[in-house]
Amino acid sequence: MFGYRVPAPDEAMLISGGRRGQGGAPFRVVTGHGKFVLPIFRKTRFLTLAMCEAEVAEKCVTKQGIVLTVRAVIAFKVGNDTESIVNAGQRFLSDQDQMSVLTGRIFAGHLRAIIGSMTVEEIITERQKLAIEVLDTSKTEMAKIGLIVDSLQIQSIDDGDTGYIAAMSAPHKAAIQRQAQIAQAQAAQAAAEAEQAAARKQAEYARQTAVVQAEYSAEVDRVQAQSAQAGPLAEAHAQQEVLAARTELAQRAADLRQQQLVAEIVKPAEAEAERIRVLALAEAERMRIQAEAAASHGRVALDRMLIDQLPQIVKEAASGLSGANVNVLNGADGLGEIAAGLVGQGLTILDSVRRNLGSPEGDAEKSGGTGTGTGGGTGGGKIEIR
């Protein structure tokens, strides 16, 4: 709209002509909104409220008489209140760049005054204290010209060619270098230990890998050997089982044949030998009775009766022996032993009978008779064995 003016957000609009502003100021201050301004009769100017910067590079003498070159940066602006805008507008509205120049000069003076009361060590170690003191001493003066300071930063402190700061920092540098060397040595040692540990781990891993590979190879060789031997072992096992079966079959056949031999040869032979023994005993008994009858006529009738009964006794004994069950444990040798035993037993019985028959003959000899016999006595009588 014609004659309507609006300031920027970081500006203050100053309207002169017409009635005065606050505090008798020659202009009215408008911020944050627009205002209708009559052309020709009113004049409008704008004052920046943005942040400004001033740099300071000043040579200052310390309490010890050492010259230091101090560089600092000041961040400032026009205050937001109407009084500060009026003060700044009256001083800098025609040339707003002078705000930085004047601010730098103000801070340079305060900086020289404060550094002159401090030592180099205090300035180096307490920069924040120096900045705070400079800000505090310049705050009132800056407010008079409508400016406020947001921050003061000490950028550098240089002693030129005097070397005081370098000498002051030498012990610290040496300590730092020593610590750096120690740290470097420790780092190198740690790196060496790490490399050694890594080498050990790698060697251990290689050893374990070799062991596992060897065990795997051994297992593969063992399985292959077992597989290669499986066929021959199975065949040998089968042959062994066949041989065992054949041996068992042969043993059973031998046992059966032995039983057959016992049934067919041994038992009949034993029965026959027993029959012969019984017959021999009977015959011997008959001869004994005959001899006794010849020697003692008083027993003739009894002996005759026994003699008559002997064939029947022998027959019964023979028939009983034929059904006997005799076991031979040692085969043909046992059979020969049984036969020999039976024959010997028969001869013994026969000899016993002859001796018994010889006793009556002795009696007959005592009574004056004579006979001939085989056995235990001698005489004149003669006995015939049939």
Q: Tokens representing 122? A: 């205090």
Question: Domains along the chain?
Answer: 4-47 (no CATH), 51-162 (3.30.479.30), 269-366 (no CATH)
Mean pLDDT of the chain: 77
Long-range contacts of 118-127, Cβ-Cβ distance < 8 Å, separation of 24 or more: 118/62, 118/63, 119/62, 119/63, 119/64, 120/62, 120/64, 120/66, 120/68, 120/159, 120/164, 120/165, 120/168, 121/168, 123/62, 123/68, 123/157, 124/157, 124/165, 124/168, 127/154, 127/157
Residue 313 or residue 1, greater confidence: 313
In this structure, the chain runs to a length of: 386
pLDDT > 90 in the chain, percent: 13
Instruction: Kindly tell me if the per-residue pLDDT of 366 is higher than 50.
Output: no
Token pair of 110 as six digits = 């305060």
Residues 102-149: tens digit of each pLDDT: 999 999 999 999 998 888 888 888 888 888 899 888 888 899 999 999
| Top-ranked range on mean pLDDT: pick from 244-253, 255-264, 308-317, 329-338 | 244-253
More confident call, 10 vs 326: 10
pLDDT tens string 143-201? 999 999 988 888 888 888 888 887 887 887 788 888 888 988 999 999 999 999 999 99
- At 6, is the secondary structure helix, strand, or coil? coil
For the segment 343-348, the average pLDDT, to the nearest whole number, is 55
**14-34 average pLDDT score:** 76
Contact 38, 66 (CB under 8 A): no
Question: What are the backbone angles phi and psi of residue 94, rounded to the nearest 5°?
Answer: -75, -30
Has residue 297 got a pLDDT over 90? no
Predicted confidence (pLDDT) at residue 18 exceeds the cutoff of 60: yes
Q: What is the DSSP letter of 12?
A: E
- Report the distance separating Cα 185 and Cα 237, nearest Å: 74
pLDDT at 363: 43
| DSSP code string of 271-324 | HHHHHHHHHHHHHHHHHHHHHHHHH-GGGHHHHHHHHHHHHHHHHHHHHHHHT-
pLDDT band at residue 340 under the 50/70/90 scheme: low
Residue 73 has pLDDT above 90, yes or no: yes
Question: Looking at residue 371, what DSSP letter applies?
Answer: B
pLDDT at residue number 334 = 53
Separation CA 276–CA 289 (nearest Å)? 20
> Is a pLDDT exceeding 80 seen at residue 292?
no
Averaged pLDDT, 355-367: 46
Higher pLDDT, 172 or 339: 172
In this predicted structure, the answer to whether residue 385 has a pLDDT above a threshold of 70 is no
For position 326, what pLDDT does the model report? 47
pLDDT confidence bin for 28, thresholds 50/70/90: confident
Query: What average pLDDT score do residues 75-79 get?
Result: 92
Distance of CA 356 to the CA centre of its chain: 101
Secondary element (H or E) of residue 249: helix 164-261
